[in-house]
């Protein structure tokens, strides 16, 4: 299957030239967490188990993980997406979509038969269900009650909460612990540090132990451990960032409406719009060296992340007005 992604800025530069690009093709926060001082040992020594454990303890508190559940750190939520298809024999998987296409790609590579469906009810009865909450790119949200009800009607359920940081009320982390329910969290998107490659998977102890074994002894780097532990403990930054993102969503939606686009969905870190012609809309922004995301399955939908700072907002506003 086609594994298209945002963040493909090399393709934009190759096609349109220039170096001063604003990459809005991902849902990564462009106002990242300020990097703290990093001890030299984080770079020079192999990560200690005690340091990884301290990171996971902080993640457990930040995500309000249920006491009976286990959590482990991996190289981004992507690390979990690649390993989870190997927990148990392959079978029939149903994915709520359209959504992040790595779920289907990794399941297919592991021998699963994959079907994309458009409602939770259609997932029922599968050996494995996958739901991204909030969904990427549509922003569709599911209540914990609905997802827990779904879990009882299929073999296993993966809930990818990569964009849930600003909406903790959606999370199933407080309800984990029983076998067959997995929750994925991404550090890099909300904290704007995707290059750290840090994420978490939460679930039943025995199944998380199996994932930990598959990941090997050092799945994440020393700097990722240090930065992640400090950032996840900074509740004031997280709250201020959430409020800023919500205000900026209102601002960018209004800019899109003035450009003749319709709000089609989105979450706090990205917005989805319907335009008369998505490819022409992308090309128009690209002439201002602003890169966006369009989709092979839609001729009208275009997704934008949020700019950072007055300069980027000014450039986007000028491009949209044109």
Which residues are 276's β-sheet partners?
none
* pLDDT tops 80 at residue 3: no
Do strands 113-117 and 92-96 pair parallel, antiparallel, or not at all (unpaired)? parallel
Residue 14 shares a structural domain with residue 108:
no
Residue-wise pLDDT tens digits, 45-87: 999 999 999 999 999 999 999 999 999 999 999 999 999 999 9
Residue-level pLDDT at 2: 61
122-146: average pLDDT:
98
1 is a domain residue: no
Q: Which one of 202, 234, 266 terminates a domain?
A: 234
The pLDDT of residue 322 is above 80:
yes
Q: List pLDDT tens digits, range 4-18.
A: 788 789 989 999 999
Q: What distance in Å separates the CA atoms of residue 225 and residue 222, rounded to the nearest whole number?
A: 5
- Are the C-beta atoms of 111 and 4 separated by less than 8 Å? no
Domain that holds residue 292: 9-26+236-321
* pTM flag (> 0.85): yes
Q: Dump pLDDT digits (tens) for 96-117.
A: 999 999 999 999 999 999 999 9
Total count of domains within the chain: 2
Which DSSP state fits 215?
A: H
Q: Are 105 and 169 found together in one domain? A: yes
Pair (218, 260) in one structural domain: no
């Amino acid at each position: 299957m086609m594994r298209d992604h945002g963040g493909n800025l090399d393709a934009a530069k190759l096609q349109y030239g220039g170096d001063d690009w604003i990459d809005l093709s991902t849902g990564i926060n462009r106002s990242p967490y300020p990097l703290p001082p990093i001890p030299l040992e984080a770079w020079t020594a192999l990560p200690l188990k005690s340091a990884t454990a301290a990171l996971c303890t902080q993640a457990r508190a930040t995500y309000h993980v249920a006491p009976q559940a286990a959590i482990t750190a991996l190289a981004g939520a992507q690390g979990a997406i690649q390993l989870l298809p190997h927990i148990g024999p392959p079978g029939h998987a149903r994915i709520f979509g359209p959504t992040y296409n790595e779920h289907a790609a990794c399941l297919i590579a592991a021998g699963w038969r994959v079907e994309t469906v458009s409602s939770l009810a259609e997932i029922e009865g599968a050996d494995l269900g996958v739901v991204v909450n909030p969904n990427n790119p549509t922003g569709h949200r599911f209540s914990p009650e609905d997802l827990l009800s779904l879990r009882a009607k299929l073999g296993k359920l993966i809930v990818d909460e990569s964009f849930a940081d600003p909406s903790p009320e959606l999370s199933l982390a407080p309800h984990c612990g029983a076998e067959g329910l997995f929750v994925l969290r991404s550090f890099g998107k909300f904290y704007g540090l995707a290059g750290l490659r840090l994420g978490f998977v939460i679930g039943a102890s025995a199944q998380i132990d199996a994932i930990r074994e598959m990941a090997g002894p050092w799945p994440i780097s020393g700097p990722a451990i240090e930065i992640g532990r400090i950032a996840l403990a900074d509740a004031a930054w997280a709250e201020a960032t959430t409020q800023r993102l919500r205000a900026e969503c209102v601002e960018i939606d209004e800019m899109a409406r003035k450009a003749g686009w319709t709000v089609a969905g989105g979450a706090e870190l990205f917005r989805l719009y319907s335009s008369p012609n998505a490819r022409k809309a992308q090309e128009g922004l690209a002439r201002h060296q602003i890169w966006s995301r369009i989709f092979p399955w839609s001729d009208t939908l275009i997704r934008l992340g949020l700019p950072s700072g007055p300069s980027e907002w000014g450039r986007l506003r000028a491009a949209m007005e044109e």
